[in-house]
Amino acid sequence: MLNQQIAQIFYRMAEFLEVKEVEFKPRAYEKVARVLESMSRDVGEIYKEGGIRALEEIPGVGINIAEKIEEFIKTGAIKDYGKLKKECPIDLEALSSIEGLGPKMIKTLYKKLGIKNLYDLEKAAKAGRIRNLFRFGPKVEENILKGIEFVRRGIGRFSLGEILPLAREIENRFRSFRAVDLVVIAGSLRRKKETIGDLDILVASDKPQDVMNFFVNMPEVERVYAKGDTKSSALLKIGIDADVRVVDKKSFGSALQYFTGNKDHNIALRKIAIKNNFKLNEYGLFLLAGDKEKYIAGETEKDIYQSLGMDYIEPELRENAGEIEFAMENKLPKIIGYGDIKGDLQMHTTWSDGVNTIEEMAEQAMSMGYEYIAITDHSHRLKIANGLDKKRLLAQIEEIDNLNDKFAKQDKNFIILKGAEIDILSDGNLDIADDVLKRLDIVLGSIHSGFKMPKKEMTERICRAMGNPHIDIIAHPTGRVIQHREGYQVDLDEIFKVAGETKTALEINAHSSRLDLSDVNIKKAVRAGVKLIISTDAHAKNQLLYMELGIAQARRGWAGEKDILNAQSLDKLLESLKG
């Protein structure tokens, strides 16, 4: 978490410096921020072992930045960041959360209209004052209002990828405490929702007061709202609320089912219990006999579901979206497991905008037990990402061939597939010629521009790309960025239809900022018979661990192993690809 906190500060410092029109420094802070995010090792540990000299060995970190990292480790703050915030009258964090508003545009809005915050921005947009600014116009003004509405819907919520590591740290800390018998973080996090509003922590213990004292004194706790005998509530330093409840081991399963939710799922279960002369609550399942109650189940969740005459329902499915009816008829699909993926089919390296080399990505993948990966650096149209042109792509193919020869000599049962993420142009054509694409093992088509195209045109654009014989997969199919940008307008029913006709797979992008397709659209794709892949879009080797988030998304969409191409062996995968 320390790496992420410092990285976010450096990103903000880069934005402030860009507003002040300071040259070079913004890029330096951004580069270091990306490196910190990609590191699997905590900078606090690095500093503890080797001091400031060890920090200087981190790529992109000179003495100036190393001193700032040291300052944060020691004090929890960086003075220069505080100084920049005071000097800048603009709420840069809030304004930059609006899609399309970069530091230069924000500076123009401040200079021309005195806009300092979201309130000022909304007021000016509604009054029609922004459209008259040079390089803005009515469409930009309209998009700003939509962006404000979108951001406000997500206020107070955190992305799953942001909260999950912290939740596991807390869970493991509880697990190591002598007074704790069982602990699970329930609620929306256990159901693996895309965004999380709060944490519900359930503990089984016969020493609840010890557990309460342990919780309120955790280093993650910022402020305690309430401390009771079996329940305490607190604000964590990251800004999310957390509730801890202690129950008897006998009731742990029923409490876990109750606090996992969702609400509609729980109401439906209680109705079934009542219909069968039971009472179901967080303390257990009870058989009603006159004015007496007989405890039937409650120690485990499986006991609850089985006693109600149904199969166990995985937490990711508990949305009252048909899962209860399927469970009662023993017809629940076998959803993909967290260990079923055999390879990752989208990642980026130092050839484009990634942090690690091809070999480093491969070594990380092998440590995760994968059989294969695909290297899919950006094509040259995406200049901001140092995209590859024909010449560099052919050179990369040669490097991958050499690495595969090296692994073969080392008797490693692993292969690197030659791939690329190719930009789909506005007319549906691709920015790399077919004579180069045919030399690749796997080709992803994706959209990185023209997000505001009308629905019909965007749909035709993607469908035309799927008609290319070399496009195997459409990456992040709706283009959304969680809590930052809504997806572009596209007719997914038509996309699913054409994907089936052209044998083009659709990606479930596991990157924590995307999770695209959504769970709802995955379910529709599965029903339409569309083949899917789960990939991380990793830009650093530790981001290959995002695969868990993509699998969770697939599970929420009722996808099974048979629906996911990269849950298959390499031979079966290659047979399934279009080329």
Q: Mean pLDDT, to the nearest integer, of 334-344?
A: 97
Q: Mean pLDDT, to the nearest integer, of 138-155?
A: 80
pLDDT at position 44: 86
Residue 251 clears pLDDT 70, i.e. is over it: yes
Residue-wise pLDDT tens digits, 529-578? 999 999 999 998 989 999 999 999 999 999 999 999 999 999 999 999 87
pLDDT at position 185: 96
Count the Cβ atoms, other than its own, within 10 Å of residue 1: 14
Residue 380 clears pLDDT 90, i.e. is over it: no
Please tell me which residue, 442 or 111, carries the higher pLDDT value.
442
Alpha carbon 448 to chain centroid distance?
18
Q: Mean pLDDT, to the nearest integer, of 427-455?
A: 93
Letter for the amino acid at 348?
A: H
Residue 18 clears pLDDT 70, i.e. is over it: yes
Per-residue pLDDT band for 154 (boundaries 50, 70, 90) equals low
pLDDT at position 207: 96
Characterize 456-469 residue by residue with b for buried, 16 or more Cβ atoms within 10 angstroms of its Cβ, and e for exposed: eebbbbbbbbbebe
Residue 1 clears pLDDT 70, i.e. is over it: no
Characterize 105-131 residue by residue with b for buried, 16 or more Cβ atoms within 10 angstroms of its Cβ, and e for exposed: bbbbbbeebebbebebbbebbeeebbb
Q: Are 572 and 343 in contact (CB under 8 A)?
A: no
pLDDT at position 132: 87
d(CA 511, CA 238): 21
Q: Output the DSSP codes for 489-552.
A: P--HHHHHHHHHHHT-EEEEE--TTT-BS-HHHHHHHHHTT--EEEE--BSSGGGGGGHHHHHH
Residues above pLDDT 90, as percent of the chain: 64
Per-residue pLDDT band for 504 (boundaries 50, 70, 90) equals very high
Residue 496 clears pLDDT 80, i.e. is over it: yes
Please tell me which residue, 314 or 120, carries the higher pLDDT value.
314
Least confident of 14-23, 307-316, 344-353, 417-426: 14-23
Residue 81 clears pLDDT 90, i.e. is over it: no
Cα–Cα distances (Å) from 307 to 106, 276, 311, 486, in that order, read 59, 10, 10, 42
Q: Which two tokens stand for residue 436?
A: 């180069």
Winning range, highest mean pLDDT, from 113-122, 309-318, 534-543: 309-318
Residue 167 clears pLDDT 70, i.e. is over it: yes
Q: Which two tokens stand for residue 153?
A: 């819907």
Whole-prediction pTM value? 0.82
Cα–Cα distances (Å) from 516 to 5, 161, 294, 314, 508, in that order, read 25, 13, 47, 21, 5
pLDDT at position 83: 86
Burial of 319 (0-12, 13-18, 19+ CB in 10 A): middle
Q: Output the DSSP codes for 65-107.
A: HHHHHHHHHHHSS-HHHHHHHHH--S-HHHHTTSTT--HHHHH
Mean pLDDT of the chain: 91
Q: Which two tokens stand for residue 562?
A: 């048979």
pLDDT at position 425: 95
Residue-wise pLDDT tens digits, 466-484? 999 999 999 999 999 888 7
Q: Mean pLDDT, to the nearest integer, of 379-388?
A: 80
Helix and strand totals (H; E) in the chain: 24, 17
Q: Are 439 and 388 in contact (CB under 8 A)?
A: no
Alpha helices in 57-201 (DSSP H): 63-75, 79-87, 92-95, 103-113, 118-126, 137-153, 160-175, 187-190
Residue 514 clears pLDDT 70, i.e. is over it: yes
Residue 66 clears pLDDT 80, i.e. is over it: yes
Residue-wise pLDDT tens digits, 345-364? 999 999 998 888 999 999 99
Count the Cβ atoms, other than its own, within 10 Å of residue 528: 15
Residue 156 clears pLDDT 80, i.e. is over it: no
Count the Cβ atoms, other than its own, within 10 Å of residue 315: 23
Q: Mean pLDDT, to the nearest integer, of 270-279?
A: 95
Please tell me which residue, 540 or 178, carries the higher pLDDT value.
178
Per-residue pLDDT band for 494 (boundaries 50, 70, 90) equals very high
d(CA 174, CA 218): 10
Residue 579 clears pLDDT 90, i.e. is over it: no
Q: Are 416 and 403 in contact (CB under 8 A)?
A: yes
Winning range, highest mean pLDDT, from 77-86, 172-181, 383-392: 172-181
Map out the domains of the chain with their CATH numbers: 2-153 (1.10.150.110), 158-247 (3.30.460.10), 264-328 (3.30.210.10), 343-576 (3.20.20.140)
Residue-wise pLDDT tens digits, 421-431? 999 999 999 99
Per-residue pLDDT band for 445 (boundaries 50, 70, 90) equals very high
Residue 40 clears pLDDT 80, i.e. is over it: no
Least confident of 16-25, 134-143, 299-308: 16-25
Residue-wise pLDDT tens digits, 185-196? 999 999 999 999
pLDDT at position 559: 98
